[in-house]
Structure 1
């Protein structure tokens, strides 16, 4: 009853305080001023966040005409408070796939591979039934591979369900169980397996771990010091992931499928990656945004990125992500140089996670 009263009081309260020439507002205990967020943005954040359990933390980057504003909230005792958390780390889940694709674009520009090349020659064994897969098909989800490999027992009650899916198990799948389901032109079928296989293949070509390639070719290049693979490698505060019920959970380790969703990052780091996309001279990033497959009238896919056509005609480039303890979403408009990043310790294995996507796109509409 006490918590319900606190929540009701928070919804109804609007406290105004004036200092010097600036007016600061507190809406639902969220501080608003010219450097932060608008009333509309605050209301969106509160409406979508109130369903989350206590100890939920959300970090935001709002990018408008290349200018970045950071904002953060945390829910405690049914009340949402403003915090500073742009350097706090979260698992970003499947947003990892766009970094995977960026490595591929790098390799293409260096003539190490071509998008339509087969990955098969980089393995010293034959794939099941001689089936052939290209780099592009892995990057745009048209390979015909399923979402998960058939020899992975994905149990949502297991807090780290990928951790023992090593290179030998991936090899066994490719040799004995791999089945592609697509027509001759290829169809879109979202595949964590495909993205994981792409990262695994790029690691073989680069003769380094995927994390080493990411550090050298992306994180260092774009000044992303708090981005990495592996919770043991995080150099900043790592926000603890939690279940849909608000219980602490383990960090995920995707093992041989690391390229599907293993990166841990911050809104500060990711904002640098997003703003780098606003540079038309960056050929590698531009290559990832080129449409490679049409899904329907409003949706298409590039390399890693999904492309959404808004009713206004704007093209929004986006990806979301989720693990057992975290949910994330990133959307950008490279023409207007706008973008929104939302990172959270909201589990992707529960109903509340849909609010992260809704919040991300809702905030994008305010820019």
Structure 2
């Protein structure tokens, strides 16, 4: 299979171009403008409720819940994370803000993450393994280092705060409130009806599962779920003022180019990508202009390039 299918992608011709862009790869592109949601779906099994692995796009979703805790003053951005941990972990003296912006000093992955199979690398990393990882020394905070470990820890800490499982936590505080009715966590041992991702050659790959580090990338979401979540950044639910305020606060800059997990561009766009073995996802939106493009691909295509190309056309269309 040709991984680098070259198509001059045009928003105005997108529906007709889908077979050329994706060939036999299942995919969805969602274009949002104000309260309008337009779905471009490719592949016989794909519909608005099909579950994709969204990988690291899970991070800004978990960060939104952290924003709620800060908004409610249960947590504070300058709070040392050690304050949320047992005494033997006092060396975790980075702040919540540093954890949210990948400046905690935590490495990309825990040093004791040694998966039995790379087909499902996070599946067996549970609470005991996380406790062992937390005992290790860290680099000094302050320098950017993208950390799946850090966001896995964030999800775990929030569940400890709410005294529920991470699945119950996101169901109650995120999925229900954001009208993400199909969304789930890919927890080890659970079963979901989801799409299969493909490798470079078009062969199906095993789906990923997560345990304690699910906040790093374990959300399964449908095209409709993603449309409802992202449009909430400008169509904040009036019936839930706490959520509306948390959503607004989550867009605030925490340093030069990052909000709550979102990277922030010079023209006011927010974006984040995600990958698992067989899936890639990209979200880019501008809350002031009320426009977004979301690309979800169950195979080897550059979701980021596709989304950014279409987003630029969408913004220029309104100039």
Q: Same fold (TM over 0.5)?
A: yes
| 1:141 pairs with 2:114 | no
Cα distance between partner residues in 2 of 1:106 and 1:330: 21
The residue that corresponds to 1:318 in the other structure is: 271
Cα distance between partner residues in 1 of 2:38 and 2:305: 20
Judge conservation of contact 1:45–1:359 (CA < 8 Å) in 2.
no
**TM-score normalised by structure 2 residue count:** 0.86
RMSD over equivalenced CA pairs, Å = 2.6
| 1:243 pairs with 2:196 | no
For the residue of structure 1 that corresponds to 2:213, the secondary structure is helix
Cα distance between partner residues in 2 of 1:83 and 1:91: 15
For the residue of structure 1 that corresponds to 2:306, the secondary structure is helix
Distance 1:150 1:83, change over 3 A: closer
Judge conservation of contact 1:96–1:262 (CA < 8 Å) in 2.
yes
Cα distance between partner residues in 2 of 1:278 and 1:48: 30
Cα distance between partner residues in 1 of 2:146 and 2:191: 29
Gap runs ≥5 in structure 2: 315-319
Q: 1:206 aligns with which of 138, 146, 162?
A: 162
For the residue of structure 1 that corresponds to 2:250, the secondary structure is helix
Higher strand proportion (structure 1 or 2): 1
Cα distance between partner residues in 1 of 2:219 and 2:157: 17
| 1:364 pairs with 2:311 | yes
| 1:307 pairs with 2:264 | yes
> Any idea what the Cα deviations from partners look like across 1:289-326, whole Å, max 9, x if unmatched?
111112xxxxx1111111112xxxx2111111111121
> Any idea what the Cα deviations from partners look like across 1:260-289, whole Å, max 9, x if unmatched?
000000111111111110046721011111
Q: How does 1:1-367 map to 2 (within 5 A)?
A: 38-39=12-13, 41-42=14-15, 45=18, 48-49=21-22, 54=24, 56-74=25-43, 85-127=47-89, 130-153=91-114, 158-175=118-135, 177-182=136-141, 186-230=142-186, 232=190, 234=192, 237-279=193-235, 282-294=244-256, 300-309=257-266, 314-346=267-299, 352-353=300-301, 355-367=302-314
Judge conservation of contact 1:71–1:85 (CA < 8 Å) in 2.
no
Distance 1:44 1:178, change over 3 A: farther
The residue that corresponds to 2:317 in the other structure is: none
**TM-score normalised by structure 1 residue count:** 0.76
| Number of equivalent positions | 301
Whose relative contact order is higher, 1 or 2, with alpha carbons under 8 Å and at least 6 apart?
2
